[in-house]
Amino acid sequence: MRNVKRNRMQRISDKPPKNLNEIPSPDEAVLNLLSRSNADLSSERTVYFYLYFHTEEKSRMAEMKLRELGFTIETLEPSGKKEWLCLIYKNVIPNSATLTSIRKKLEHIANKFDGNYDGWETGLDANEAEGLC
């Protein structure tokens, strides 16, 4: 699942940046892609966040903290990879400030329990998806 997401991220930019200051943050890169697809970023949508942990114990400890923050979590056993996935989702208005705030919280929890935060994604409705073609 991670490789698919990274491959999509690599296609976001139409032209290479002239300098490193022009490279958007990962959150801004996805927001730019959504904006180009005419996604309605002014209303709430379900956003999915990915955290990976080496053990079930660590993933369950992180899960308790995440629930305290109001996230819905689905913890999935490893398949193929040897890491437990905490698939977290929440309805938010996707904007840079909100996603940066969530990213900081999730990175902190991931680090606390020896895990790894691997970004976020959201779906598009049929009309929005047409903008990607």
Distance CA 23, CA 26 (A): 9
Q: Does residue 85 fall inside a structural domain? A: yes
Q: For the chain, what is the domain count?
A: 1
Find out whether 84 and 13 touch, Cβ atoms under 8 Å: no
- Asked if 100 contacts 30 with a C-beta cutoff of 8 angstroms, the reply is no
- For residue 39, what are the CA distances in angstroms to 5, 48, 63, 80, 130? 18, 16, 30, 33, 10
For 88-113, write each residue's pLDDT tens digit: 999 999 999 999 999 999 999 999 99
Report d(CA 103, CA 101) in Å as an integer. 5
Q: Which range of residues forms the domain containing residue 74?
A: 47-124
pLDDT tens-digit map of 2-16: 444 444 444 444 455
Q: Is the dihedral of CA 11, 12, 15, 18 positive or negative?
A: negative
What pLDDT shows up at residue 80? 75
| Amino acid 26: pLDDT | 81
CATH number at 99 reads 3.30.70.970
pLDDT at 133: 53
Higher per-residue pLDDT: 21 or 24: 24
Is residue 18 very low, low, confident or very high in pLDDT (cuts 50, 70, 90)? low
List the one residue out of 116, 111, 92 whose CA is nearest residue 102.
92
**What local confidence, expressed as pLDDT, does residue 22 receive?**
58
Q: Note if the pTM is more than 0.85.
A: no
Query: What is the chain's mean pLDDT, rounded?
Result: 81
